[in-house]
Structure 1
Amino acid sequence: MRFSIERLRWFLVAGAVLLIAGLVATIAISSYRAKKAFVEKLKNFAHIAHETKNFTYSDALLGHTSYTLHAGRVVQHGDGTYSLFDVAVQLHSKTSTEVDHIYANEIEYDQNTGVGKAIGEVRMELEVPQSVAGTRHGTQSPPTAAVTTSPQVVFVDTSSVVYVKKLGVAATADEVRFRWGKLSARAKGAEFSPNDSTLRLLADVHATGILHQQQLDMTASEALIDRNSNIATFGHPTARTGNRTGKSDSAIVYLRKDGSIEHGSATGNVELTEGTALIKAAHLDAVLNESSVLESAKLIGGVTMVDSNPLRPTQGSAQTVDASFDATGAPTVIVGRGQAAVAMQQGAPGGRTMHRAMHGDTITANFVHDAKHAGAGHAGNDAHSSASLIKGLHAVGSAQVSGDSVTAAQGKAAELKQNAVDADDLVASFTQTAEGRALLRTLVGTGHTKLHQEGSEGDVSESRADVLNADFVPSATGAAQLETAKQTGHLTMMSRSVRKPAASGQAPGSSKGPATPTVSTGSAAEGTYVAATDTLTLVGGTHFSDGENSLTANEVTVHEGSGDAEARGNVLASIEQHDAQPSGKVREAQPVTHIASTEAKFVRAGKIAEFRGTDGAPARLWQGGSQVQAANLLFDGVRRSLTARPAGSSGLVRAVFASMGGTGQVVGAKKASGERKTAATIVHVASPRLDYSDLSRQAVFSGGVKIEGTMGQVESQRAVATLNPSKPAAPAADGPASSAAAQANPVNGTLEKVVVYGDVHMRQPGRTGTGDQLTYTAADDEYVLTGSPPHLPHIVDAQQGNVTGATLVFNNAGSTIIVSGNPGQPGGRVRTETEVRQSH
Structure 2
Amino acid sequence: MRFTIERLRTLVLITGGAVIAALIGFLVVGRWRSHLNVREIPKRLGIDVKQEQNDVVFTHARGGHTYYKLRASKAVQLAAGNRLLLQHVQIELFSMDGKTVDRIAGNEFEYDQKAGTAQAAGPVEITIERPGVAPAIAPRAAAGKAVGSLPLAGATNDAAAGQIAVKTSGLFFDQKSGIARTEQRVEFSTAQGNGSSVGALFDSDTGRLTLDHAVELNVQRGAEPVLLRAQHAELARADLVCSLRGAVAHYRQGEATAGAAVIHFRGDGTAEHLDASEGFGLTTAGGAHVRAPRGALDFDAKNRPQRGRLEGGVTMDSAGEGRTLHGAAPTADLVFTGDGELRHLHLERNVALHTEQATRTEGNQPELRVRRDWHSPVADVDFKSAGQGKVELAAVRGTGGVEIASETQRGDGPVRPSRMAADAVTGVFGESQQLVSVTGTGHAMLAQTTAAGAQQTTSGDRVEVQFGGAGAGKKAKSSGKASRGGDAGEIASAIVEGNVVLTQTAAAKAGEASNSLRATAGHAEYEGSGEWLHLTASPRVEDGGLELAADRLDVSQASGDAFAHGDVKATWLDPGGKKGAVGLGGPGPAHVIAKEAQLQRTTGEATFQGQARLWQDANSVAAPTIVLNRTRQTLVARGTVGEPVRVVLLGAGGSPAGKGLRPVSLPGSAKGNGPSVVRIRAGELKYSEGERKALLRGGDGGRVEADTGGATSTSNEAELVMLPAGNHAGTNGAAAQVDRLTARGHIVVTSMGRRGVGEQLVYTSDTGQYVLTGTAAEPPRLVDPAHGSVSGESLIFNSRDDSVSIEGQGQKTVTETTAPR
User: TM (normalized to structure 2)?
Assistant: 0.78
Q: Which amino acid aligns with 2:28?
A: A
Which shows bigger deviation, 9-18 or 442-451?
A: 9-18
The two structures, once aligned, show a CA RMSD in angstroms of 4.4
Of 305, 312, 316, 2:323 maps to 312
Cα deviations across residues 29-87 of structure 1 (Å, max 9, x unaligned)? 32242120122313432423489642223334554433222222222346443222111
Q: Which amino acid aligns with 1:112?
A: K
Which shows bigger deviation, 354-363 or 85-94?
A: 354-363
- Output the CA distance in 2 between the equivalents of 1:652 and 1:451: 45
Deviation at 1:526, TM superposition (A): 0.7
- Output the CA distance in 1 between the equivalents of 2:614 and 2:636: 11
Deviation at 1:182, TM superposition (A): 5.3
Task: Check conservation: 1:572, 1:594, Cα contact below 8 A.
Answer: no
Report what 1:169 is aligned to.
179
- Output the CA distance in 2 between the equivalents of 1:345 and 1:462: 23
- Output the CA distance in 2 between the equivalents of 1:796 and 1:158: 141
Which shows bigger deviation, 604-613 or 594-603?
A: 604-613
Cα deviations across residues 356-394 of structure 1 (Å, max 9, x unaligned)? 344433333333334xxx4xxxxxxxxxx4243443333
Q: Which amino acid aligns with 1:629?
A: A
Query: Could you say what secondary structure the match of 1:517 adopts?
Result: coil
Deviation at 1:232, TM superposition (A): 0.4
- Map residues 599-618 of structure 1 onto 2, 5 A cutoff: 599-602=595-598, 604=600, 609-613=606-610, 618=611
Deviation at 1:301, TM superposition (A): 2.0
Task: Check conservation: 2:723, 2:738, Cα contact below 8 A.
Answer: no
- Map residues 774-789 of structure 1 onto 2, 5 A cutoff: 774-777=761-764, 783-787=770-774
- Output the CA distance in 2 between the equivalents of 1:229 and 1:625: 98
- Please say if 1:47 is aligned against 2:43: yes
Of 99, 102, 106, 1:100 maps to 102
Report what 2:731 is aligned to.
none
Task: Check conservation: 1:10, 1:272, Cα contact below 8 A.
Answer: no
- Please say if 1:16 is aligned against 2:10: yes
- Output the CA distance in 2 between the equivalents of 1:186 and 1:227: 20
Report what 1:498 is aligned to.
507
Report what 1:367 is aligned to.
383
Report what 1:192 is aligned to.
202
Q: Which amino acid aligns with 2:498?
A: G
Report what 1:734 is aligned to.
none
Which shows bigger deviation, 167-176 or 804-813?
A: 804-813
Query: Could you say what secondary structure the match of 1:26 adopts?
Result: helix
Task: Check conservation: 1:633, 1:642, Cα contact below 8 A.
Answer: yes
Task: Check conservation: 2:245, 2:260, Cα contact below 8 A.
Answer: yes
Q: Which amino acid aligns with 2:546?
A: N
Report what 2:622 is aligned to.
629
- Please say if 1:655 is aligned against 2:647: yes
Report what 1:446 is aligned to.
441
Deviation at 1:815, TM superposition (A): 11
Report what 1:379 is aligned to.
none
Identity %: 21
Report what 1:831 is aligned to.
812
- Please say if 1:65 is aligned against 2:74: no
The answer for unaligned runs of 5 or more in structure 1 is 1-6, 375-384, 502-513, 580-585, 663-678, 728-746, 822-827
Q: Which amino acid aligns with 2:590?
A: H
Query: Could you say what secondary structure the match of 1:18 adopts?
Result: helix
Report what 2:401 is aligned to.
398
Task: Check conservation: 2:119, 2:170, Cα contact below 8 A.
Answer: yes
Deviation at 1:520, TM superposition (A): 1.6
- Please say if 1:121 is aligned against 2:123: yes
- Please say if 1:214 is aligned against 2:224: yes
Task: Check conservation: 2:160, 2:190, Cα contact below 8 A.
Answer: no
Report what 2:590 is aligned to.
594
Deviation at 1:797, TM superposition (A): 13
- Please say if 1:302 is aligned against 2:313: yes
Report what 2:461 is aligned to.
466
Deviation at 1:233, TM superposition (A): 0.6
- Please say if 1:770 is aligned against 2:767: no
Of 680, 687, 692, 2:681 maps to 687
- Output the CA distance in 2 between the equivalents of 1:818 and 1:542: 58
Deviation at 1:251, TM superposition (A): 0.6
Cα deviations across residues 315-337 of structure 1 (Å, max 9, x unaligned)? 11122223344566543333333
Q: Which amino acid aligns with 1:210?
A: Q
Query: Could you say what secondary structure the match of 1:9 adopts?
Result: coil
Cα deviations across residues 414-458 of structure 1 (Å, max 9, x unaligned)? 7653333322223344555xxxx4565554332122112124664
Cα deviations across residues 677-710 of structure 1 (Å, max 9, x unaligned)? xx9975432426333265994331534555445x
Deviation at 1:17, TM superposition (A): 2.6
Report what 1:425 is aligned to.
424
The alpha-carbon distance between structure 1 residues 84 and 302, as it changes in their structure 2 partners (threshold 3 A), is same
Query: Could you say what secondary structure the match of 1:249 adopts?
Result: strand
Of 278, 286, 289, 1:268 maps to 278
Task: Check conservation: 1:658, 1:681, Cα contact below 8 A.
Answer: yes
Deviation at 1:228, TM superposition (A): 0.9
Report what 1:721 is aligned to.
719
- Output the CA distance in 1 between the equivalents of 2:60 and 2:280: 49
The alpha-carbon distance between structure 1 residues 281 and 748, as it changes in their structure 2 partners (threshold 3 A), is farther
Query: Could you say what secondary structure the match of 1:103 adopts?
Result: strand
- Output the CA distance in 2 between the equivalents of 1:352 and 1:726: 57
- Number of residue pairs the alignment of both structures matches: 735
Report what 1:524 is aligned to.
521
- Output the CA distance in 1 between the equivalents of 2:311 and 2:796: 98
Task: Check conservation: 2:2, 2:288, Cα contact below 8 A.
Answer: no
- Please say if 1:111 is aligned against 2:121: no
- Output the CA distance in 2 between the equivalents of 1:784 and 1:110: 147
- Please say if 1:344 is aligned against 2:337: no
- Output the CA distance in 2 between the equivalents of 1:69 and 1:592: 118
Report what 2:669 is aligned to.
none
- Output the CA distance in 1 between the equivalents of 2:735 and 2:543: 20
The alpha-carbon distance between structure 1 residues 414 and 627, as it changes in their structure 2 partners (threshold 3 A), is farther
Deviation at 1:816, TM superposition (A): 8.8
Task: Check conservation: 1:407, 1:417, Cα contact below 8 A.
Answer: no
- Please say if 1:550 is aligned against 2:586: no
Deviation at 1:170, TM superposition (A): 1.9
Q: Which amino acid aligns with 1:444?
A: T
Task: Check conservation: 1:625, 1:659, Cα contact below 8 A.
Answer: no
Deviation at 1:198, TM superposition (A): 0.8
- Output the CA distance in 2 between the equivalents of 1:682 and 1:64: 133
- Output the CA distance in 2 between the equivalents of 1:136 and 1:525: 57
Q: Which amino acid aligns with 1:318?
A: A
Deviation at 1:495, TM superposition (A): 1.1
- Output the CA distance in 1 between the equivalents of 2:450 and 2:131: 67
- Output the CA distance in 1 between the equivalents of 2:178 and 2:155: 37
- Map residues 476-487 of structure 1 onto 2, 5 A cutoff: 477=481, 479=483, 481=486, 484-487=493-496
Task: Check conservation: 2:504, 2:560, Cα contact below 8 A.
Answer: no
- Output the CA distance in 1 between the equivalents of 2:100 and 2:454: 78
- Output the CA distance in 2 between the equivalents of 1:425 and 1:95: 64
Q: Which amino acid aligns with 1:783?
A: Y
Cα deviations across residues 574-615 of structure 1 (Å, max 9, x unaligned)? 334669xxxxxx9454535534224213275998754244xx
Deviation at 1:621, TM superposition (A): 1.5
- Output the CA distance in 2 between the equivalents of 1:150 and 1:185: 14
